[in-house]
């Protein structure tokens, strides 16, 4: 189905597909039965969803918020994408019984 839409499989990761048309880029990431669509415009994302619906039944879960235990937050006005593993870190600390540990200073420059 992906090749019928003109997408090329990435040489490095067989679950990543891309299509470049002029300045337009669409990337599809596939993980088991989930699919993430990234594109240079929302119009391309909507086109991709409509195109896929012609081949298979899909459920649109809207904008992505989580990916492999990483929280994603977008600030479109500032053109920023923020990634956080706070929940994963908290769960790991709980798993090892370290919820009450205190932070310590390090000699590393915090502005790096």
- Closest among 50, 54, 7, 10 to 26, alpha carbons compared: 7
Structure tokens belonging to residue 16: 């990543």
Question: With contact defined as beta carbons under 8 Å apart, do 110 and 104 qualify?
Answer: no
Alpha carbon 12 to its chain's center: 17
So what's the pLDDT on residue 81? 85
pTM, to two decimals: 0.67
Where do the structural domains in the chain lie, given as residue ranges? 1-61, 63-100
Mean pLDDT of 43-53: 88
So what's the pLDDT on residue 31? 82
At 33, the pLDDT band (50, 70, 90 cuts) reads: confident
Length of the chain: 112
Question: With contact defined as beta carbons under 8 Å apart, do 27 and 17 qualify?
Answer: yes
Mean pLDDT of 48-61: 85
Name the phi and psi angles at 58, rounded to 5: -130, 155
């Amino acid at each position: 189905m992906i090749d019928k839409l003109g997408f090329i499989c990435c040489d490095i990761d067989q679950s990543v597909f891309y299509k470049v048309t002029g300045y337009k880029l669409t990337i599809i990431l596939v993980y088991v039965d989930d699919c993430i669509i990234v594109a240079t415009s929302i119009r391309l994302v909507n086109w991709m969803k409509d195109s896929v619906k012609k081949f298979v039944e899909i459920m649109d879960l809207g904008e992505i918020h989580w990916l492999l235990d990483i929280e994603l937050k977008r600030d479109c006005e500032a053109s920023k994408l923020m990634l956080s593993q706070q929940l994963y870190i908290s769960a790991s600390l709980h798993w090892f019984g370290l919820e009450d540990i205190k932070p310590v200073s390090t000699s590393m420059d915090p502005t790096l």
